[in-house]
Amino acid sequence: MVDSKHQWKAWIYLSPAIVLLLVFTVWPIINTVRMSFLENYSGLEAVGGATFEFGIGNFQKVIEYKRFINCLKNTILLCVLTVPVSTILALLIAVALNSIKGLQKVLQTIFFLPYVTNSIAIGMVFAAMFNIVGSFYGTQNEIVVTAGIINNVLEFLGFERVNWINAGSSYEANIIVMTVYIVWNALPFKILVLLGGLQSINKQYYDAAKVDGTPRRRVFTKITVPLLSPMLAYVVITGFIGGFKEYSSIVGIFGENMGPVDDVGRLNTMVGFIYDALETNKQGRASAAALILFGIILVVTMINMQVSKKRVHY
């Protein structure tokens, strides 16, 4: 059947996609590797006719940068905090949703809502909720006007208000705000996948457990979680991949400052670092940083896969 005439036809159908992929996907992969190994490569200077030596200087410089280490730390910290929290919360919500009949559709829709939002726009809403208008720490003639709804709630519950994101706020407070926002943002996808997984579990397992009089907790740990483990692995892996590419949620809350006004760049991430390097025309550095990011994502994904190979029941 495979004659040359058909081959020809297939390539015509493929050509638009292939041409675009060659220009905007394949070439960038090759070129990024090339630029990363050319010392101090700069696109602007390259146009001017400059040549660059081959070497691993870009990688060395990137790793030595204090800013880069800071970005790496922020990224890893946010990943380590948000992935477990959002996965466990999503699991609890999905199991609860799966066990009820009334209101299931309504609640399911509500839990999916954060997905269809613009992370910059809703980040601005979170900033409003945490922001203090006026100040309570700085000069004396400044007075607090509103401490923000989150602080209002905290004070109502008997806690002290916290400077979450304003000038003078602590790093821990910033990270808490980011964690809350990222978890809020990450829940819908995880709930959707986990609920889909739960609904496909064969009811017979639960009937058998019922006949045996198995307690609820054992049903959860011995039936639900093992049978859901492929979905859990999927959610954790995509969560880590997304987490390492965190950027726009921070822009949403802190703006392009990537940190409180008195400490610009404090919450910058790996992706932020790459864009900063790109904007200052240091493509060599940017490429090196991007390859490091890719390496980290690859390693973390492989570790996840190894762990899930042992734990996941297919």
* Site residues (CB under 8 A) for another protein, limited to 202-221: 216
Is there binding between residue 1 and another protein (CB under 8 A)?
Answer: yes
Query: In angstroms, rounded to a whole number, what is the distance separating the alpha carbons of residues 7 and 151?
Result: 66
- Minimal distance, residue 210 CB to another protein, in Å: 12
Is there binding between residue 240 and another protein (CB under 8 A)?
Answer: no
Query: In angstroms, rounded to a whole number, what is the distance separating the alpha carbons of residues 96 and 92?
Result: 6
Query: In angstroms, rounded to a whole number, what is the distance separating the alpha carbons of residues 29 and 291?
Result: 10
Is there binding between residue 293 and another protein (CB under 8 A)?
Answer: yes
Is there binding between residue 299 and another protein (CB under 8 A)?
Answer: no
- Select from 51-59, 63-71, 78-86, 119-127 the region that touches another protein (CB under 8 A): 119-127
- Select from 55-63, 72-80, 102-110, 219-227 the region that touches another protein (CB under 8 A): 102-110
Is there binding between residue 57 and another protein (CB under 8 A)?
Answer: no
Is there binding between residue 128 and another protein (CB under 8 A)?
Answer: yes
Is there binding between residue 86 and another protein (CB under 8 A)?
Answer: no
Is there binding between residue 92 and another protein (CB under 8 A)?
Answer: yes
- Minimal distance, residue 93 CB to another protein, in Å: 6
